[in-house]
Amino acid sequence: MKNDKNLFYILLFLAMIGWGASWINAKVLSRYIDAYDMIFFRFGATALTMIPIIIVLKKSFKIDFKTFLIVLISSIVLIAYMRYYFLGTTYGTASLGGALVTTLVPINTFIFLVFLGKKKMTKKDAFALGVGAIGVMSMLNVWKFDTKEIMVIQNLYFILASLLWPILTIISAKSTKISPIVFTFYLYIVTVLIDGLFFVNFDTIKYSSFDYLFWINIASLVLLATTYANSIYFLGIERLGAGEVSSFIFFVPFSAIILSAIFLNEHISISIVVGTILTIIAVKLLN
């Protein structure tokens, strides 16, 4: 039993590295395709890889009408999130995006739940939000008081992404009659259909430019960051509990920062590192 738990810890750690690496993958892919193309390729391929996993886990593909409506709304929000996630990474750095968005998401989720009346604000929570605010400002390097550096478009894209993911989380949480893995499968299918019908221009995609770097990063994004990481995360929640598994999320921003320095030669400023640590402390206090 202990060995099985230790194995799951290793698998979860690798899954978090996959999520962190997705920011590096997106940065590389921005040289080849736009946001909507990336959504189509990523989630289309991922949905196909999820079919055998759902079958092996013996989950039912059955979906009721109410859940389908939740999937439909969630898909629209997911497309919007992915667009700003991709644009922010395209014009900004993968390290800042991976650190800022992944730490802001749980903080923004908490704030939304307070406004919706689902949670109550305590003094400890207020203190945690204060620490988180200082962390975010540190990552954005507001202490230089240079508006040209602070008010850049990529920072806005990252903040919008961090606001959209909590909305997606809260909406999708309304689905209680279906396995999370099956829900995610239908989410990806509907996302691909909407994206392909309304946003992707297949005639303008430069297929001839797809070299080995493109396929390596697509494969990493699909197999490691999405199919593998999502499946292990959901299985981890079922076997270990949400509280224990959620602690592994803290590896995501640091893996994004380290991998950005290794593969993209991005300069990692002390403000990003300090800001990430402060926001992680805030998230832990809000947990």
Per-residue pLDDT at 175: 80
Per-residue pLDDT at 259: 93
What's the average pLDDT block by block, 10 residues per block, for the chain (287 residues)? 74 92 96 96 96 92 94 97 95 91 89 88 89 87 67 88 93 86 95 97 94 96 92 80 73 91 90 89 81
Per-residue pLDDT at 72: 97
Per-residue pLDDT at 287: 67
Per-residue pLDDT at 136: 87
Closest CA to 104 of 129, 84, 76, 74: 129
Per-residue pLDDT at 149: 63
Per-residue pLDDT at 118: 85
Per-residue pLDDT at 1: 54
- Calculate the CA dihedral of residues 118, 20, 223, 156 and round it to 10 degrees: 70
Per-residue pLDDT at 2: 57
DSSP string computed for 19-54? HHHHHHHHHHHTTT--HHHHHHHHHHHHHHHHHHHH
- Calculate the CA dihedral of residues 159, 152, 154, 30 and round it to 10 degrees: 180
Per the structure, the complete domain to which residue 45 belongs is given by: 2-286
CB contact set of 194 (below 8 Å; sequence gap of 6+): 75, 76, 79
- For the chain, strand residue ranges (E) read none
Give the amino acid at 81.
Y
Number of domain units in the chain: 1
pTM: 0.90
Closest CA to 47 of 233, 238, 226: 226
Per-residue pLDDT at 147: 65
Cβ distance 189 to 47 under 8 Å?
Answer: yes
